[in-house]
């Protein structure tokens, strides 16, 4: 009779088919979660690569734009200086020299202020354009974290 109680105890506690079913279900669930995690990681990596590419493109075009503005400012300043030197060659009196020099200095100061404003505005726009892809990506990531 003691053997029968032992057999009953073992037969109730372990059912190999239930164990196999549970293990299969666990493995399938794990595989599905792994696929989902991989898909999310792949998407995030692709989006990060696009963000970096857009940032680099914005930086390159911004650098070109700033370079062209600097060249334009240099050209304007050089032409103005050459014109002033030509005007100085035709001076006939000291008062005319002082008047010409004063007008040139005032014009150069106004031009420098205008050029500084132009460069500042262009630099601000370039900085915004360079930062925009990263900002957009961060906002998208934050909103997807809030949803998930």
Residue with tokens 């360079």: 130
Task: Indicate if the pLDDT at residue 135 is higher than 60.
Answer: yes
Structure tokens at 74: 């240099």
Structure tokens at 65: 């734009």
| Number of domains forming the structure of the chain | 1
CB atoms within 10 A of CB 57: 13
Look at residue 138 in the predicted model and tell me its pLDDT.
80
Look at residue 11 in the predicted model and tell me its pLDDT.
53
CB 132 within 8 A of CB 58: yes
pLDDT, averaged across the chain: 84
Q: What is the pLDDT of residues 40-79, one digit of tens each?
A: 888 878 888 888 888 888 888 889 999 999 999 999 999 9
User: Where is pLDDT greater, at 37 or 125?
Assistant: 125
SS3 81: helix
Three-class SS of 45-77: HHHHHHHHHHHHHHHHHHHHHHHHHHHHHHHHH
Look at residue 6 in the predicted model and tell me its pLDDT.
52
The Cα–Cα gap between 60 and 71 comes to 16
Task: Indicate if the pLDDT at residue 148 is higher than 60.
Answer: no
Look at residue 59 in the predicted model and tell me its pLDDT.
85
55 closest CA partner among 111, 124, 147, 137: 137
Per-residue confidence band for 86, with pLDDT thresholds at 50, 70 and 90: very high
Least-confidence region, from 17-26, 35-44, 103-112: 17-26
Task: Indicate if the pLDDT at residue 112 is higher than 60.
Answer: yes
Range of the domain at 29: 2-147
For 129, residues 6+ apart whose C-beta sits below 8 A from its C-beta are 58, 61, 62
Length of the chain in terms of residues written: 148
């Amino acid at each position: 009779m003691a053997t029968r109680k032992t057999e009953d105890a073992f037969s109730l506690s372990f059912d190999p088919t239930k164990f196999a079913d549970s293990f299969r279900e666990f493995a399938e669930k794990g595989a599905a979660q792994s696929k989902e995690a991989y898909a999310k990681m792949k998407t995030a990596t692709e989006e990060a690569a696009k963000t970096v590419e857009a940032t680099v493109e914005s930086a390159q075009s911004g650098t070109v734009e700033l370079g062209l503005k600097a060249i334009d400012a240099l050209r304007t300043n050089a032409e103005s200086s050459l014109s002033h030197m030509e005007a100085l060659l035709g001076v006939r009196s000291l008062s005319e020299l002082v008047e010409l020099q004063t007008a040139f200095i005032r014009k150069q100061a106004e031009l420098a202020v205008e050029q500084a404003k132009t460069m500042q505005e262009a630099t601000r726009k370039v900085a915004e354009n360079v930062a925009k892809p990263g900002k957009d990506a961060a906002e998208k990531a934050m909103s997807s974290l809030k949803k998930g």
